[in-house]
Structure 1
Amino acid sequence: MGIIINALSIVSGSVIGSLFKESIRLKNFTVLAISIMIISLVGFFENIFDIYSMTLKSNELLVVVFSLIIGTVIGDTIQLENRVSNISSLSNKGFSNLIDAAIFFAVGGLQICGPILLATVGDNSQLILKSIIDFPFALMFGVSYGKKVLLSFIPVALGQVIIFLLTLLSKTFFNATVIKQLCAIGYIILFFSGFNLICESKYKINNVNMIIGIFVILFYNVIIKLWR
């Protein structure tokens, strides 16, 4: 359900934006950015803070922080964000607009963690949150590029379905600890997405590089399970 909702948010936003482009003005994303940052902080602490004992889960916090650092270093070394950005420059202008939109919606922490959470515990919350965030940006892309950007839902939904199915095949691997670690790092990446919306370009954080941190967490937990 969450995957369908996310696809519909992109399609509807793109269509509405393209049809009413003369009357829609989306220039100030400050409120949206602050909302994203607040939601991200709440989600992050929810996953690394034990509300019953009122203490931080120090082991999980360390795993998340070190995975994020290592992942960011790897992403920066292989220039992940630059490579992703350069994809659209390889195609013609009309098609590059579609690729820009697809990359924006398909690259992020919730894009990966959302389907994992859905497959493991049937929780749609991260995908619904992603849908709420994606809708105003789909409006913006619709206003700027026209309704052709609605096709960007295809790679987004396809990627989510693939992650969902792969997670189902290895469901026993994703215990509560792994899920909380993945959710925590997903919310950190989302936080910096909001942060970048209200910052000058010279202060922006390359949060795309942080996505590698998700795979570092998965690799770490695979090693731990094999070791045991």
Structure 2
Amino acid sequence: MIGTFVNVIAVLIGGSIGLLFRSRIPERMFTIVFQAIGIFTLYLGISMALKANELLIMVFSLVVGSLIGELLRLEDHVESWSGKLKKKIGSENDKFSTGLVTAFMLFCLGAMTVLGSMEEGMGKEPTLLLTKSMMDGFSSVALAAVMGSGVLFAAIPLLIYQGGLTLLAALFGDVIPPVIITELSGVGGVLIIGLGISILELKKIKVLNMLPALLVEALLCYIFL
């Protein structure tokens, strides 16, 4: 799991640099940078979503996955955990939870996360994850400068999620069809679009409650494709 550990370290270093810049950025600059991140998030989500081919499976997965997430109240639990963490570290940043969730979604829902984890899990050099680490490191500078310390704590779910994928790939990588990776990236793109809409404050979307759609998508693709 060298690639994942390097990725986590890159996020922590980049986020720490971003926090140093945060104190030097005028308050009036935060809004425009925040909007720029939101627009980029929309673009990233659209570009990922357009790669999906099985639209019926995607829609069904999103609906069923969202219902599961709503029943489990995933977003409420994450926000509660985030609030406790924020209180424990004494942060007064009103965007702490937003920064944590945004960073986690951007760092974990791309195709490079799945492909890179599979690459390393199947015993190959972690080239993709090392490349992703560099990209995430630079991204975390901008995110932390605008959203604060919550971005650094996104390293925790990043380690669990990406590390878990690597371990699964080590066990089952040979039996995962490539089409599943493509379709998972498509669903991830739709979720990132929802995240972008929330960042731009156009409408609050409970994106975390939609995360089970990824599991539903993987299961349906494995059965029917």
Q: What TM-score, normalized to structure 2?
A: 0.74
Runs of 4+ in structure 1 off by over 6 angstroms are none
Amino acid in structure 1 at the alignment position of 2:190? I
* Structure 2: distance between partners of 1:86 and 1:190: 22
Q: What do you get for the CA RMSD once the two structures are aligned?
A: 3.4
Structure 2 residue corresponding to 1:75, chosen from 47, 69, 73 = 69
Q: Assess if the C-alpha contact under 8 Å between 2:100 and 2:152 holds in 1.
A: no
Aligned to 1:40: 45
Once the two structures are TM-superposed, the CA of residue 223 in structure 1 deviates from its matched residue by 4.2
Change (3 A) 1:151 1:189: closer
Aligned to 1:117: 115
Change (3 A) 1:93 1:31: same
Gaps of 5+ in 2: 120-125
Aligned to 2:36: 31
Amino acid in structure 1 at the alignment position of 2:220? Y
Change (3 A) 1:39 1:104: closer
* Structure 2: distance between partners of 1:194 and 1:130: 19
Q: Secondary structure at the match of 1:20?
A: helix
Once the two structures are TM-superposed, the CA of residue 5 in structure 1 deviates from its matched residue by 6.1
Count of aligned residue pairs for this structure pair: 208
Amino acid in structure 2 at the alignment position of 1:84? V
Change (3 A) 1:17 1:71: same
* Structure 2: distance between partners of 1:181 and 1:76: 22
Q: Secondary structure at the match of 1:204?
A: coil
1:218 pairs with 2:218: yes
* Structure 2: distance between partners of 1:187 and 1:169: 26
Structure 1 residue corresponding to 2:176, chosen from 174, 197, 200 = 174
* Structure 1: distance between partners of 2:49 and 2:86: 40
Amino acid in structure 1 at the alignment position of 2:16? V
* Structure 2: distance between partners of 1:189 and 1:123: 26
Aligned to 2:78: 84
Gaps of 5+ in 1: 49-56
Once the two structures are TM-superposed, the CA of residue 81 in structure 1 deviates from its matched residue by 0.8
